[in-house]
A and B are shown apart, each in its own frame.
Chain A
């Protein structure tokens, strides 16, 4: 089989996955549908975080906060203000984007570990605010959220939630791909690769870094808002630094600067523990071990490994270069 044929077959896995995802609900039980729905939420966050950290090179441990802001904004608008669900989700995503932009401004002076620290502080602050602003957020009691509905159609079953998230996540994946392939995506990458050269080519660093923060927050706020409707309850304890670390783990394991990596990393983090559930007390141990092995043998994540092997064995794509690692 020649290289040309292989290149042409590149779209085939996508078609197979697409058909598989559409057919899945007919074959599996509700619990698996619920896990898949959660996976889609995490993919959304991973896409957003990867745009900022993987593509633009700006580390963030603040994404649990963006997730919380999206979730609580949607919940408050829905429960206290009785806004229609669609408006709640859109408003929550946009509001989170604005917050992301504003956080991006002071972060312009920082990079690497220092940026990680500052954004980690942001997560701590927001979580504390969720607890303290009880008038709005109900504090440590948490918040109940009724299922979303669009024009009388209520997303109250696992089946319906699955398709809602499948559609939204796929659309946002396509949007991310479009951005990456265009002028904005190249500016992001240029900043990650070489800030000085990017500036010399007319890329406004401040502008594009804050845009990256805003877009990244938009994805994460959207995921948070949807998750509020899916789970039906918001517990402020969940939006901790640990969640931020989970998010960053997803994109490092999956592959920084790779959309495929965002999907694979989320899969690793969400599906693997389910598969290991039978191991009982050994579960956490095996899971941790797999994580260590993955990062040792695939330092550029699952997608990096796939890309390297596709080039080496099938001659597909281009010879990858070792990208600089986080924090450098």
Chain B
């Protein structure tokens, strides 16, 4: 079954065609890689899918429902969660509260009930807290629940942001460079974690990453962008040997240097 289908997606910034007629689709349960040199349009594609940018052309469907013109919060509530290329936490809130914000739409309490701290509110609050702690334990984030998110080391912040996205209980997870800033062994741990997450939460994952080793290892399918256009798509092996792709990466030094 197709989870997400992006059709002829286009977005211009002034004269820059950041995304230029990109089409791809994600099958349920797969890890789909989105790669390309710097400025290829990967983050812009993410921002279109999650409602942060309004595309100038094309359609985006999530499980047969068109989401092209929905707001980010509506898209999130439909079951699409994301992380950001530069970590975006609620910095002065505790790690646990960061996760609990994502439980927002699962909780069913009215403001009046909350104001009076009625029993049903306290019960839901306890439940959400329990689930959040369970998730933190799964991600190896125990012991930092009460710490202020902005004071955590970058590695923990990235892990927390991932946890926050998972707490939304999404069907589709979009990760923008989750391995950036991690060393080789940390990246290997992350790869195992992503596979574990996919299986445990039955997710479809769209993954942007410059670390080719990681991408080739865990992606089922890879879509390659260059200058806003799709230049290749297929299994990691196919894509690796594609002459267009080799050319795109060799012609662009920073991309090649990053492996």
Q: Which residues of A contact B (CB under 8 A)?
A: 175, 178-179, 181-187, 189-190, 193-194, 196-205, 211, 215, 318-323
Contacts and interface: CB of A to CB of B under 8 A. Distances in A.
Contacts of A320: 92, 148
Given A178-B115, A182-B125, A321-B150, A201 B168 contact: yes
A184 B73 contact: no
A190 B109 contact: no
B116 A178 contact: yes
Contacts of A321: 91-92, 148-151
B97 to A, nearest CB: 6
B148 A189 contact: no
B82 A194 contact: no
Contact of B76 (A178, A186, A190, A199): A199
Interface of B: 50-52, 71-73, 76-77, 81-82, 84, 88-94, 97, 100-105, 107, 109, 111, 114-117, 121, 125, 146-151, 164, 168
A199 B72 contact: yes
Contacts of B81: 200
Q: Which of B50, B76, B90, B116 has the most CB atoms of chain A within a 10 A radius of its CB?
A: B90
Nearest to A175: B115
Contacts of A187: 101, 104
A197 B52 CA distance: 11
Given A197-B84, A202-B104, A178 B114 contact: yes
Nearest to A185: B114
Contacts of B51: 199
A202 B105 contact: yes
B15 to A, nearest CB: 25
Given A183-B114, A202-B104, A323 B76 contact: no
Contacts of B148: 318-321
Contact of A189 (B50, B84, B90): B90
Given A201-B101, A215-B111, 12 more contacts: A179-B111, A185-B114, A189-B93, A193-B92, A199-B52, A199-B72, A199-B73, A200-B73, A201-B73, A202-B168, A321-B92, A323-B92
A197 B90 contact: yes
Contacts of A318: 94, 146-148
Nearest to A196: B88
Contacts of B90: 189-190, 193-194, 197-198
Nearest to B47: A196
A209 B1 CA distance: 38
A187 B105 CA distance: 10
A204 B51 CA distance: 13
B82 A200 contact: yes
B97 A189 contact: yes
